[in-house]
């Protein structure tokens, strides 16, 4: 994985502290061209990996990338699925059955007609695989070397102890898409325990890593211990703790930690993008070159 990954929260008006900033971002990125322009600026700063949830608008970005192969020959997308709000909104608007018709591909309903409820109860893994394939359709022809399970599902499965579903996601991504499997979580210590029980070795985990323990279930000290002692590949997100930590202080902290393979951040301006990249490189030069 690249050292620095570019995220998508700013494009879809997600800000964990300020509603006013969310409204500002919503206006700024109401047109898809503004998203593409910002991605190109990130590319100028040397960022070639875009980590994004499978929003419907991402399909427009994918179309643009496919239409300009020379410009985006080194460009990679890390899809994060599922986009839960998409399904929740569809159920509200369409109802359960129409939602299934819209999002589950293939011959689901003909199989369901034959097997009824028994099919739903006995072949839930197959339904999950169909939903993964539906989410991945928009990325056809694009380099997607890591595919992620969103924290809303990862942590739900973790809480319910449903390790069979984690294994099903892992195996389907590996076999069908020849990609690495990533897990986004707000509870890295518990997730590692479950992945160990699933015999999933050296996992890729994206989790909150920041100086004040923001959204770090189990506490900062536990995370630091895991980084020192475990064989895992960690992507640090929410390093600024939603703006609660000054950028220089936040980035120096995360760059000083061992075993952080990548740092994920989102930004809406050229100055912020270039400044963040420069600071990461500056602190990497200090801490990564230490004996």
Q: Is the per-residue pLDDT at 145 higher than 70?
A: yes
Its pTM stands at 0.88
Is 204 within the bounds of a domain?
yes
Task: Determine the pLDDT at residue 37.
Answer: 97
Domains of the chain: total: 1
pLDDT in tens, 19-37: 677 778 888 899 999 999 9
Of 13-17, 87-91, 94-98, 147-151, which has the strongest mean pLDDT? 147-151
Task: Determine the pLDDT at residue 118.
Answer: 41
When pLDDT is averaged across residues 34-56 and rounded to a whole number, the result is 96
Is 105 within the bounds of a domain?
no
When pLDDT is averaged across residues 109-124 and rounded to a whole number, the result is 49
Lowest mean pLDDT among 64-78, 133-147, 277-291: 277-291
When pLDDT is averaged across residues 235-243 and rounded to a whole number, the result is 95
For the chain, percent of residues with pLDDT exceeding 90: 71
In this structure, are strands 76-81 and 49-53 parallel, antiparallel, or unpaired?
parallel
- Buried-state track 215-232, b at ≥16 Cβ within 10 A, e below 16: bbbeebeebeebbeebeb
Higher-confidence residue: 130 or 161?
Answer: 161
Is 275 within the bounds of a domain?
yes
> Comparing C-alpha atoms, which of 264, 247, 265, 258 is closest to residue 284?
258
Q: Is the per-residue pLDDT at 166 higher than 70?
A: yes
User: Rounded distance, CA 44 to CA 47, Å?
Assistant: 7
Task: Determine the pLDDT at residue 224.
Answer: 98
pLDDT in tens, 189-233: 999 999 999 999 999 999 999 999 999 999 999 999 999 999 999
When pLDDT is averaged across residues 107-117 and rounded to a whole number, the result is 47
Is 126 within the bounds of a domain?
no
Task: Determine the pLDDT at residue 212.
Answer: 97
Is 9 within the bounds of a domain?
yes
3-state SS, one letter per residue, for 265-279: ECCCCHHHHHHHHHH
Is 104 within the bounds of a domain?
no
Domain residue limits at 181: 4-83+133-287
pLDDT in tens, 241-264: 988 999 999 999 999 999 999 999
Higher-confidence residue: 117 or 166?
Answer: 166
Alpha helix stretches (DSSP H) within 181-269: 188-197, 220-229, 247-256
Is 99 within the bounds of a domain?
no
> What CATH number is associated with residue 39?
3.20.20.100
Task: Determine the pLDDT at residue 100.
Answer: 58
Q: Is the per-residue pLDDT at 83 higher than 60?
A: yes
Is 166 within the bounds of a domain?
yes
């Amino acid at each position: 994985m690249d050292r620095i990954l570019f995220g998508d929260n700013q494009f879809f008006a997600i800000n964990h502290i300020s509603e006013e900033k969310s409204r500002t971002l919503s206006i700024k990125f109401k047109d898809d061209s503004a998203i593409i322009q910002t991605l190109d600026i990130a590319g100028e700063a040397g960022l070639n990996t875009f980590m994004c949830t499978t929003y419907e608008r991402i399909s427009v970005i994918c179309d643009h990338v496919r239409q300009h192969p020379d410009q985006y020959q080194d460009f990679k997308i890390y899809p994060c699925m599922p986009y839960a709000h998409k399904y929740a909104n569809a159920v509200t608007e369409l109802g359960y059955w129409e939602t299934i018709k819209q999002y589950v591909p293939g011959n689901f309903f003909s199989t369901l007609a034959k097997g009824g409820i028994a099919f739903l109860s006995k072949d839930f893994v197959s339904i999950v695989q169909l939903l993964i394939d539906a989410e991945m359709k928009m990325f056809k022809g694009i380099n997607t070397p890591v595919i992620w399970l969103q924290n809303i599902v990862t942590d739900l499965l973790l809480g319910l102890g449903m390790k069979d579903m984690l294994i099903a996601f892992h195996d389907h991504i590996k076999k069908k898409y020849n990609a690495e499997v990533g897990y986004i979580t707000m509870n890295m210590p518990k997730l590692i325990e479950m992945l160990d029980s699933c015999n999933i070795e050296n996992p890729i985990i994206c989790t909150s890593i920041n100086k004040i323990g923001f959204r770090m279930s189990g506490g900062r000290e536990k995370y630091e211990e895991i980084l020192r002692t475990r064989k895992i590949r960690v992507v640090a997100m929410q390093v600024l703790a939603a703006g609660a930590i000054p950028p220089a202080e936040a980035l120096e902290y995360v760059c000083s930690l061992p075993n952080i393979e990548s740092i994920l951040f989102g930004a809406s301006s050229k100055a912020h993008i270039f400044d963040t990249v420069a600071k990461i490189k500056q602190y990497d030069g200090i801490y990564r070159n230490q004996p």
